[in-house]
Structure 1
Amino acid sequence: MMTKNNDAQTSPDDIPATVESSNTVSCLTMSDLSKKTQLSSNIMESLSLSSLTPLARTHLTQKHYYLSAKCNDNYVNQPEIENQPASLAVEAAVAIVINGIHYAVLMASPHQLEYLAVGFLFSEGLIQHSHELIDWEVTQLKDIASYQKFTQYSFRQDSSRQDSHVKNPTNESVESEAFEQSLISLQDYDIYVVELVLNQRCHQRIQAQKRQLAGRTGCGMCGITGLTQALPDLSSYRQDIQQVKANIPSLGYLLEIRRQVDTMQHTHQLTGAVHAAATMHNQQLYLFEDVGRHNALDKLIGWQLRNKMEVECVLMTSRLSIELVQKSIRGRVPWLVGMSAPTSTAVRVAERYGLGLAGFLRDNRVTYYSGI
């Protein structure tokens, strides 16, 4: 039975509200509620940081602007200055620990972390089915004691590798001081640990593929060593291109998905800093947001695996880069559609493995690149 640790939510005000209406699954923060009820800026400004969910926080900003849209070349007009609060997306460090092995650190939005972890493991080729995940637990590191518990073992391991033969009281003192300093610096970050228990077969895969990965927000490949890991052979996931062509999504269908995404992408409306992956299933919209576009897609794939869903089309609110295409091919997604352009490499790989690809989904148009 799957269990979830509630340490990641310290108070009722910190818990994201999951909206499950007739047409969407998304995340609605307290800030969204404030926005929807059109509270005054004074009330919004009075909200303390602790009253917001981890998805967004309010920061004081200073906006400089000209009253006229057109200014002369010398900018002789003095700009207006306005102090105002702004909601900014939280970018958390999410440590993935598999069967006790510290496998990866992802920078992501701290919501739907189970789906993120499952989708990430599937995209990495470490699991093939949801049932291979036996148990899971999410913990937020929020004080020095929790930092010590999580980091001390790996820090000592690193230190022992550097000086495995020399034991010196001076060295130990320096190492202890460096360790304490590293704990202090962690207080600048939101840190979550997702501990996963996989079955024995998966554990063997992990041991064969063990590596340390530092995932950056903008790139799903950062930290991967070895071309064969970054550019895998996906022949076993190749789809029937004729079937993909026969099920090409219509422009009207895609524009309707986009309309619903624009309406329901609450965190993006609030912060302007997150991407989304969305799909329609039984005429319902399922939406997953994250500061990283590849994380948003991993969340959707994780949801798909956990609920044994088959999707016909996935819409991304971003450009279509190679890692999104690779994840979609592994997830056997027939069509991947973006609001911006794909890269040339993404199109070539999509054509090779039978993935339908479309981009530039705008007010009245879409461009198909493969599967046509």
Structure 2
Amino acid sequence: MKTGFSQEIQTWEKGQLHARRDHLAEEAPLELIIDHCDGQHWHRQNIAVTMRTPGEDRALALGFLFTETVIQSYADVEALEERLETSRQRVIVRLKDAVRVDVQKLTRHVFTNSSCGVCSQVSLDQVQKHCPVHPEMHGQVDPAILRTLPDQMRAAQKEFGRTGGLHASGLFQPDGRLLLLSEDVGRHNALDKLIGHAMRQGLLPLRDRILLLSGRASFELIQKAALAGIPFVAALGAPSSLASELAQSLGMTLIGFLRESSFNIYCGSQRVLLGSSSDIP
């Protein structure tokens, strides 16, 4: 990941103005392009432009295509190419010739978001079609483990430590070991990058794993986690109502406001080892 850049700023503190240099998280556009075959002809399609933190662009492209259900696995990809043209960064993903893409459906979905006015029930139904099986997890997670996750993720966020301006998604084992972490100015991009890395390593579906989100838990993030097979999602912030409804309908565990001394369980409490003697301050 690039380290961004710095600039001279002025800081007001206790009635005094001070000049200092501040590090900023880099944000730049990335074009995601697919080469796909309709059975007779090959087509090149620009499917999205996302504002992201440069770096891990191939993982971002893979995660995005997976969570948009364009591809089912890394085996659907023939080639990945990064290209810089006149200061415009692109990732071109060439799909296997047997992979069929509904371009109209894809582009309509890509440009929707949580404020687009789409009916909640329609959104839930569409996700459930792609996630018919409830995520699996064996055993329970000790609250004493959960309370250590935010500090672990924070310590691993190299760029956040410099800039304070990046979201993160962290993937943990039930014993608290950090497996993967990705950062980005966009929380959706951070999760797509993480899922893309997991895909390239052959780790999907991510059963028996805990996902930690650095901010709030939105519907889109729960959707991405569910598609990746993650059964347990924790967030440092609050979940939205639709995120909680989706998690509950898919049999997931959803935790919000995760702190060292407390957290809220919105659904899936059976995966949390409640009343554990090890969870004593």
TM superposition score category, shorter chain reference: 0.7 to 0.9
- The aligned amino acid for 2:5 is R
Q: How high is the TM-score relative to the length of structure 1?
A: 0.62
Pairs within 5 Å for 1:137-286: 137-141=81-85, 146=86, 191-202=88-99, 204-211=100-107, 221=113, 232-240=126-134, 244=137, 247-281=139-173, 283-286=177-180
- State the 1:364 CA deviation: 1.6
User: Structure 1: any 5+ residue segments left out of the alignment?
Assistant: 1-15, 17-53, 67-78, 148-190
Q: Distance in 2 between matches of 1:209 and 1:299?
A: 23
- The aligned amino acid for 1:105 is V
Answer whether contact 1:234 1:330 (CA < 8 A) is retained. no
- The aligned amino acid for 2:220 is E
- State the 1:359 CA deviation: 1.1
The residue that corresponds to 2:191 in the other structure is 297
Q: Distance in 1 between matches of 2:91 and 2:164?
A: 27
Deviations 1:234-276 (A, max 9, x none): 24414447x55x6442212222222211211111111111011
- State the 1:64 CA deviation: 1.4
Pairs within 5 Å for 1:61-72: 61-66=9-14
> Superposition RMSD on alpha carbons, in Å?
2.6
Match of 2:80 among 136, 139, 148: 136
* Secondary structure of 2:154's aligned partner: helix
Answer whether contact 2:127 2:223 (CA < 8 A) is retained. no
Pairs within 5 Å for 1:91-106: 91-99=27-35, 100-106=44-50
The residue that corresponds to 1:324 in the other structure is 221
Deviations 1:177-232 (A, max 9, x none): xxxxxxxxxxxxxx421111011233x314353527887xxxx8279897699652
Q: How high is the TM-score relative to the length of structure 2?
A: 0.81
The residue that corresponds to 1:115 in the other structure is 59
- The aligned amino acid for 1:87 is H
Going by fraction, where is strand more abundant, 1 or 2? 2
Pairs within 5 Å for 1:286-365: 286-309=180-203, 310-311=206-207, 312-365=209-262
Q: Distance in 1 between matches of 2:148 and 2:31?
A: 36
The 1:223–1:120 alpha-carbon spacing in structure 2 relative to 1, beyond 3 Å, is farther
- State the 1:93 CA deviation: 0.3
Q: Distance in 2 between matches of 1:223 and 1:97?
A: 25
Q: Distance in 1 between matches of 2:117 and 2:51?
A: 18
The 1:114–1:222 alpha-carbon spacing in structure 2 relative to 1, beyond 3 Å, is farther
The 1:284–1:65 alpha-carbon spacing in structure 2 relative to 1, beyond 3 Å, is closer
Going by fraction, where is helix more abundant, 1 or 2? 1
The 1:222–1:236 alpha-carbon spacing in structure 2 relative to 1, beyond 3 Å, is closer
Answer whether contact 2:114 2:219 (CA < 8 A) is retained. no
User: How many residues are paired up?
Assistant: 254
Deviations 1:292-328 (A, max 9, x none): 1111111111111111213511101110011001111
Answer whether contact 1:119 1:298 (CA < 8 A) is retained. yes
The 1:248–1:107 alpha-carbon spacing in structure 2 relative to 1, beyond 3 Å, is farther
Deviations 1:115-171 (A, max 9, x none): 111110011110111110110111234xxxx26xxxxxxxxxxxxxxxxxxxxxxxx
Q: Distance in 2 between matches of 1:214 and 1:127?
A: 15
Answer whether contact 1:112 1:299 (CA < 8 A) is retained. yes
Deviations 1:80-105 (A, max 9, x none): 11111100001110100101211100
Answer whether contact 2:170 2:178 (CA < 8 A) is retained. no
Q: Distance in 2 between matches of 1:355 and 1:238?
A: 12
Answer whether contact 1:64 1:81 (CA < 8 A) is retained. yes
User: Structure 2: any 5+ residue segments left out of the alignment?
Assistant: 36-43, 270-281
- State the 1:354 CA deviation: 1.3
